[in-house]
Chain A
Amino acid sequence: MALTKNEIAKRIAQELVNNTYVNLGIGIPTLVANHVPSDINVEFQSENGILGMGPFPKEGKEDADLINAGKQTITSLPGAVLFDSALSFSMIRGNHIHLSVLGAMQVAENGDIANWKIPGKMVKGMGGAMDLVTSSNNIIVAMTHTNRQGQSKLLKRCTLPITGVSCVKKIVTDLAVIEVTSKGFKLTEVAPSVSEDEIINSTDADLIIDKNLKTMVL
């Protein structure tokens, strides 16, 4: 069975390293905050200007002056800090953020990512994604394996305008965990009850099958 969005987020949460600073993008990445293992301390940064972001507020406690980069109402945790956009991107470009989790429309086997524009159709803009992908030490992409037309989002080369060059380190989809290596995509984990063949058939690029291929534990 393909994973739900929450299950993708749960799998990515297993990648969190204790005592690190993490930026979560809009969509599935935002859900990662709901699955932080109890023995892991991380601080979430939102690029609109907060470090120490907490969960969504309880009803009636929403504050128009406290949102995340997805413009959702949020809370701040004890020890949180607020700052302007230039300082925020100093943290990002300056490599002070350890992990960035982003959504994507396409990822190429060399680690290129496309997630900001479909020429002639959808032009929402890159927001902070171009800064994040050039700078974070570790970039993990959270996305469905195929798009709504059933086409693979993992490709030999991106066909959409790219957001960043050779930056993605790992991809967690509803079907698999795939590492981006110097030799291309490496399949390291399959989703429960998803076959290796199904993943190969859903991927428009070569897959190196890891010797220790595992089934995801959620």
Chain B
Amino acid sequence: MINKTIASVDEAIFGVKSNMVLMFGGFGLCGIAENCINALSKTKIKNLTCISNNAGVDDFGLGLLLKKRQIKKMISSYVGENDEFERQMLSGELEVELIPQGTLAERCRAGGAGIPAFFTPAGYGTEVQGKKEVRVFNKKKYILEHALNADFAFVKAWKGDTLGNLIYKGTARNFNPLMAMAGKITVAEVEHLVPAGELDLNQIHTPGIFVQRIFKGSFYEKRIENRTITKP
């Protein structure tokens, strides 16, 4: 049986080099690969292109890589709530490509699914359209968007097995299954790692075929960005 387990976070990020394109799953701080991001922030790797729906906050998530100026370009849909990001973007130090969230998700999915490009209505008639090809289908206008792939994809799951099969929890699923498909090397960090055969095969979200490395994260802060409660 193929065993994709690696021993440490150092092995997880082995092979990541400056100037690479990396994908990071997560929505806000929910479902991010905390251990891999922390490890990358301790390296001297720089000039990274990072594809992630958001860019973390100032001192957590991808904000850690931003603060150390390791990121050259961000490809995201929403980047609020991060002062350092905004500063670097407005000063021109950081290149930013903002794309509609559904387009970002589909571009990742397409990249992993062997679909080089697709037409979507999102962004038609806006700055996002730019010089992209426009086509009319059934009287509605669509723009051509291309698939995204990455040298490495870093995803986070709740449970995983030694074959790389993954199960996510709650809304921590978000972009993780799509980016898992689109990475040349996909690294999955999980809260619970079990032997192959122990996960219920009816419940697996990401089949292990998409995952090259898997390990159990040593610590999860799981920070909540916007704690809201119903007052009694």
Contacts and interface: CB of A to CB of B under 8 A. Distances in A.
Interface of A: 46-50, 55-59, 61-74, 82-86, 88-89, 92-93, 116-117, 120, 123-131, 134-135, 161-165
Contacts of B108: 86
A68 B205 CA distance: 20
Interface stretch (B16-24, B27-35, B193-201): B27-35
Contact of B101 (A72, A89, A135, A162): A89
B126 interface: yes
Given A48-B27, A65-B30, A85-B175, A131 B226 contact: no
B207 interface: no
Contacts of A128: 77, 100-102
A56 B79 contact: no
Contacts of A62: 224, 227, 229
26 contacts: A46-B171, A49-B174, A55-B230, A62-B224, A63-B170, A64-B172, A65-B30, A67-B171, A67-B224, A67-B225, A71-B29, A72-B226, A72-B228, A82-B171, A84-B105, A84-B205, A85-B53, A85-B178, A86-B105, A86-B177, A93-B120, A116-B98, A123-B89, A126-B98, A129-B100, A131-B103
Given A55-B230, A70-B226, A89-B102, A134 B173 contact: no
Contacts of A72: 226-228
B222 interface: yes
B223 to A, nearest CB: 7
A125 B102 contact: no
Nearest to A68: B171
Nearest to A130: B100
A74 B124 CA distance: 32
B117 interface: no
A109 to B, nearest CB: 16
Contacts of B96: 123
A135 B170 CA distance: 26
Contacts of A63: 170
B114 to A, nearest CB: 15
Contacts of A74: 228
Q: Which 3 A-B pairs have the closest CB atoms?
A: A89-B102, A131-B102, A65-B170
Nearest to A120: B90
Dominant secondary structure at the A interface: loop
Interface of B: 27-31, 53, 76-81, 86, 89-90, 96, 98, 100-106, 108-109, 120-128, 158, 168-178, 205, 222-232
Contacts of A120: 90
Contact of A58 (B122, B128, B230): B230
A66 B170 contact: yes
Dominant secondary structure at the B interface: loop
B178 A130 contact: no
A69 B135 CA distance: 30
A154 to B, nearest CB: 19
B122 A125 contact: no
A65 B228 CA distance: 13
A84 B106 CA distance: 11
A165 B124 contact: yes
A92 B230 CA distance: 28
A58 B108 CA distance: 36
A217 to B, nearest CB: 27
A56 B89 contact: no
B173 A125 contact: no
Contact of A65 (B121, B126, B222): B222
